[in-house]
Amino acid sequence: MKANDLRSKTPGELKDLLLELHREQFNLRMLKATGQLTKPDQLRTIRRNIARVNTVLTEKSGAV
């Protein structure tokens, strides 16, 4: 996921994407806790994508 792609989305779409990413992060954390997570790098990727979405949302709100 690239920040330039995120900047073309509306704030509503970004909030929906953020909710989806948080759900995915929760699911990955549960898999990790039960020992079923096969790709541990997915946690880092999801966490960074959440940060990207939050950054773009902040940019769009004008509170820089």
pLDDT digit string (tens) for the chain, length 64 residues: 899 999 999 999 999 999 999 999 999 999 999 999 999 999 999 999 999 999 999 999 986 5
Tokens 């992060």 sit on residue = 25
Query: Which pLDDT score is estimated for 4?
Result: 92
Query: Which pLDDT score is estimated for 26?
Result: 98
pTM flag (> 0.85) = yes
CB 52 within 8 A of CB 6: yes
Between CA 60 and CA 64 the distance in angstroms is 9
Query: Which pLDDT score is estimated for 62?
Result: 83
- CATH topology assigned to domain 3-59: Helix Hairpins (1.10.287)
